Amino acid sequence: MSIETQADLSAEMATIADDYAASVAAGEPVETGPRLDYPPYRSSLLRHPTKSLHHADPEEVELGAPAFGPTDVDPLEADLTIQHGGEPVGERMVVTGRVLDGDGRPVRHQLVEVWQANAAGRYVHKRDQHPAPVDPNFTGVGRCLTDGDGWYRFTTIKPGPYPWRNHRNAWRPAHVHFSLFGTEFTQRLVTQMYFPGDPLFDLDPIYQSIVDPAARDRLVATYDHSVTTHEWATGYRWDIVLTGSHRTVRESDVEHL
């Protein structure tokens, strides 16, 4: 296949965005997640289901979720800057926020996993061939449990953007991968957190696969000076909302459906 340009990809993404805006204007529902079928992300072409997802009522197993606790996670795993002999290179930052369910209830004592590139945009992964330096003091993997009020908190380094091979001159906006469990198996979420004002947002097919602008904004952290600490680290706030749980359906939920 000939190598496509960013202009080719941007035109494709713009067409999809225009079609979506027109459908919403015509009264079609607002979308809340990424499209599974989003052709500008070329790796998705053969990896998306072509049949509609089948609506199912969760069974008892799916109304539960694996439990994690002190057996599983050492509190030190939440600090990605202390895993080696020295300080990693880059902008030290704290990322914190609350994990809530769709009813606004905190998701307590549940596992949050993160992974990311280093400040130069390089992953500690044998398949990452980007010729940017590996940082011997930074692996880029962390875990924590949310506290009794649903808060998570990581200390890490701001990751850099990096090139990938979707098309010619394709660059991913800087991001941190997040993996979350809820109180139900049905709430399982793997996603990516981005940084405010990234100039690569409009060019990136993975970010743009969430065609609704308000929905993709929900993946962007907020710079929070109250999280920033004196002479130590900048601070970002990012809250995460899992899908609604099925256990308790209140009358107030039912009547306006």
Partner 1 sequence: MTSAAHPTHPAAPTPGQTVGPFFHYALPYAGDRDLVPPGAPGAIRLHGRVTDGAGTPVPDALLEIWQADPSGAVPRAEGSLHRDGFTFTGFGRASTDRRGVYSFSTLAPGPTRPGAAPFFAVTVFARGQLDRLFTRAYLPAGSPGVDATALDTDRLLASLPAERRATLVATADEQGYVFDVRLQGDDETVFLAFDGRRRSAGRD
List binders of partner 1 among 211-240 (CB under 8 A): 214-216, 218-219, 240
* Contacts with 109 (C-beta within 8 Å, 6 or more apart), sequence order: 68, 69, 145, 146, 147, 148
Q: Which long-range contacts (CB under 8 A, 24 or more apart) does 166-169 make?
A: 166/9, 166/40, 166/41, 166/42, 166/43, 166/205, 167/3, 167/4, 167/5, 167/6, 167/8, 167/9, 167/42, 168/3, 168/4, 168/5, 168/6, 169/5, 169/6
Q: Does 130 bind partner 1 (CB under 8 A)?
A: no
Task: Please indicate whether residue 207 is annotated as part of the active site.
Answer: no
C-alpha–C-alpha distance, residues 181 and 189, integer Å = 7
Binding mask 82-111 for partner 1 (x = CB under 8 A): ------------------x-xxx------x
Residue 197, CA atoms < 13 Å, CB-side half-sphere: 2
Restricted to residues 153-192, the positions that interact with partner 1 (CB under 8 A) are: 177, 179, 185-186, 188-192
Q: Does 67 bind partner 1 (CB under 8 A)?
A: yes
Q: Does 12 bind partner 1 (CB under 8 A)?
A: no
Task: Please indicate whether residue 175 is annotated as part of the active site.
Answer: yes
Task: Please indicate whether residue 177 is annotated as part of the active site.
Answer: yes
Using the rule CB under 8 A, which residue among 1, 51, 225, 231 binds partner 1? 51
Using the rule CB under 8 A, which residue among 36, 136, 149, 222 binds partner 1? 36
Task: Please indicate whether residue 172 is annotated as part of the active site.
Answer: yes
- Which CB, 91 or 103, lies closer to partner 1? 103
Active site residues: 123, 162, 172, 175, 177
